[in-house]
Structure 1
Amino acid sequence: MNSNSQIPTFKGIITPMITPMLNEDELDLKGLEKLINHIIAGGVHGVFILGTTGESTSLPYPMRHRLIEETCAMVNKRVPVLVGITDTAVSESLRLADTAEQCCASALVAAPPYYFNLGQPELIEYYEYLADRISLPMFLYNMPSHTKINIEPETVKKLSEHTNIIGLKDSSGNTAYFNKLLYRMRDNKDFSFFVGPEEITAETVLLGGSGGVNGGSNMFPKLYVKLYEAAVAGDIEKVKQLHSVVMEISSEIYNLGRFGSSYLKGLKCALGLLGICNDYMSAPLHRFKKEEKDRLALNLQNIQNKLS
């Protein structure tokens, strides 16, 4: 296991990278390289692959391992690479962790297994079992809308005692929960707290959070980096200005049509329209049809005009 002196500090904007694909079994490697270079050029502080935004649970296992290999090689240590290892089978999580270690990734991210509704004592047992068998540092991933399990503050406190567990990414969108976490962990300054929903990133950074794992930074990385920097500096007027654009992205890109997956459809469609990568989505999800795509193109142009 790692000693605390060996564990890097994570903060800032970490991009939860989409997975560019040509079809169900083939990565869009040209698009992947273009996306990675685009994100890093925008100044982000890290990339996170095989998360929700990366459609991880829909990808075949060979593609997941290939994505780790290709991403780590293309990033080439320019920024930290965080790798999602969430699975219902711990053996598959550990195989992904092994690939991540072999490819020199920086950290792992694991949500609770999403079939059995584990109680908090069982959740502690699960994470400790996992953390005992990995060599890279690991983030807990709170995603109750998808896993049906909320990682309670007391559970986070207990798990933070494990050397390999160094932080948490919260995608619940529950600011009361997040503030309870910050308060409960106020004496552990080395434990990192990130939020997923970009609509609350500035707020949580102002209150002491480490940063955001924001899907919009796939499209406009500089915007989210500037938002984070303004929040760290306490520049409220700048935060308000940039937050307004982030909210427009949320409204006009992520909420088209009556789809449970509108966020992902909109994000991938926008990246396709920007000429960065393919917008193919792994089943059971499917990309936007012409009507939504045409509407999104107009919305995207309006946002680009504001950022130019």
Structure 2
Amino acid sequence: MTLAPLSGVIPPVCTPLTPDYEVDTGSLTRLVDHLLDGGVDALFVLGSTSEVAFLPDGHRRVVLETVVGHVAGQVPVLAGVIDMTTLRVLEHARVAAEVGVDGIVATAPFYARTHPVEIAGHFRTVAQRSGLPLYAYDLPISVHSKLGADLVLELAAEGVLTGLKDSSGDEGGLRSVILGRRERLADRSFAVLTGGELTVDSALWMGADGVVPGLGNVDPHGYTRLCRAAANGDWPTARAEQERLVRLFEFVRVGGTRMGGSSSALGAFKAALHLRGIIDHPTTAAPQTPLNAEEIAQVGKYLAAAGLL
């Protein structure tokens, strides 16, 4: 399979759950419609914002079938095949291929620390045996391995990788990939996407192709306005939109110190979607701590300030 390198806004789609932790497919299709209405360029399901690490395999398949079936080719759909080892990733990739996704996204292996040679072998095996376009997901905070620019560019030059989602927070490393692409991949297309939703304007100015923003679930229109302004060279408008989104993003801290940062952030995303009438329940997967009524009310104040309620 081939997939033209992606660009623009590619939100990592939240996974709405019922109060008993089943996939809420009705809410999921409404969320997909909300994102498509926001003008997004593709969808990334089963990523970190999708709570992929918390979902059993049956839930993963329900998410894939629901989204791919509902989108029906309107935009490309990428599937996270994130797991600890190569064989487990290949099994997720097999299911994703059966469902009909357009590409897959994988991290480096984790649990056991892996050497760069092993990481490269992992990506080569997944690309070869899955037969699907493969995006590397640089997420060192979770997998404890940073994907260096030289490794990424080497795999891109081989045709192993179609693109990179950089959620490392290392803006210098991101720039090294962008510069290296220009110098070493003149005849090969390779997408560079930032997962740093608070610095999208600067990443696009450096030469990134697009963004994979968790906050894009809540405000896809804002991110599409930002990317379109940047594409038109209207950097003051892009900066103003980015700054509005930065202020909105502060709601990810409403959980304070009584819960982990992931619980607070994912809870805030889902609370915002619930308050906006897009999903039925703000349930997050166990064992994450749910937001309480006071914290959800704080999320509502941020939405109102951003003009979203």
Equivalent residues in 2 for 1:58-137 (5 A)? Answer: 58-137=54-133
Aligned equivalents of 1:225 and 1:270: distance in 2?
19
TM-score calculated relative to the size of structure 2: 0.93
Aligned equivalents of 1:287 and 1:273: distance in 2?
15
Bigger CA drift: 23-32 or 66-75? Answer: 23-32
Give the drift of 1:23: 4.3
Structure 2 runs not aligned, ≥5 long = none
Aligned equivalents of 2:252 and 2:39: distance in 1?
23
Match for residue 232 of structure 2? Answer: 233
- The answer to whether residue 139 in structure 2 is matched with residue 143 in structure 1 is yes
Equivalent residues in 2 for 1:276-291 (5 A)? Answer: 276-277=278-279, 278-291=281-294
Aligned equivalents of 1:73 and 1:207: distance in 2?
36
Change (3 A) 1:90 1:23: farther
Aligned equivalents of 2:5 and 2:162: distance in 1?
9
Percent identity, aligned pairs only? 28
- Which residue identity lines up with residue 270 of structure 1 in the other structure? A
Aligned equivalents of 1:91 and 1:148: distance in 2?
19
Aligned equivalents of 1:162 and 1:18: distance in 2?
33
1:302 pairs with 278, 302, 305, which one? 305
Check the 8 A contact 1:140/1:167 in 2, yes or no. yes
Give the drift of 1:161: 2.8
Equivalent residues in 2 for 1:1-308 (5 A)? Answer: 2=1, 6-23=2-19, 25-187=21-183, 188=185, 190-251=189-250, 253-256=251-254, 257-258=256-257, 259-261=260-262, 262-277=264-279, 278-304=281-307
Give the drift of 1:25: 4.8
SS at match of 1:178: helix
- Which residue identity lines up with residue 108 of structure 2 in the other structure? P
Aligned equivalents of 1:115 and 1:24: distance in 2?
29
Check the 8 A contact 2:267/2:283 in 1, yes or no. no
- Which residue identity lines up with residue 29 of structure 1 in the other structure? T
Aligned equivalents of 1:53 and 1:39: distance in 2?
14
Q: Runs of at least 4 residues of structure 1 off by over 3 A?
A: none
Check the 8 A contact 1:280/1:286 in 2, yes or no. no
- Which residue identity lines up with residue 236 of structure 2 in the other structure? E
Aligned equivalents of 1:130 and 1:245: distance in 2?
39
TM-score calculated relative to the size of structure 1: 0.94
Aligned equivalents of 1:162 and 1:24: distance in 2?
45
Give the drift of 1:91: 2.8
- Which residue identity lines up with residue 232 of structure 2 in the other structure? A
Bigger CA drift: 296-305 or 60-69? Answer: 296-305
Check the 8 A contact 1:269/1:287 in 2, yes or no. no
Aligned equivalents of 1:106 and 1:162: distance in 2?
20
- Which residue identity lines up with residue 274 of structure 1 in the other structure? R
- Which residue identity lines up with residue 235 of structure 2 in the other structure? I
Give the drift of 1:32: 0.5
Check the 8 A contact 2:120/2:155 in 1, yes or no. yes
Aligned equivalents of 2:127 and 2:36: distance in 1?
29
Give the drift of 1:24: 5.4
Check the 8 A contact 1:25/1:60 in 2, yes or no. no
Bigger CA drift: 289-298 or 139-148? Answer: 289-298
Aligned equivalents of 1:23 and 1:128: distance in 2?
40
Aligned equivalents of 2:146 and 2:167: distance in 1?
10
SS at match of 1:293: helix
Check the 8 A contact 2:3/2:103 in 1, yes or no. no
Give the drift of 1:294: 1.5
Give the drift of 1:205: 0.9
- Which residue identity lines up with residue 36 of structure 1 in the other structure? V
Aligned equivalents of 1:132 and 1:219: distance in 2?
36
**RMSD (Å) for aligned C-alpha atoms:** 1.5
Aligned equivalents of 1:220 and 1:162: distance in 2?
37
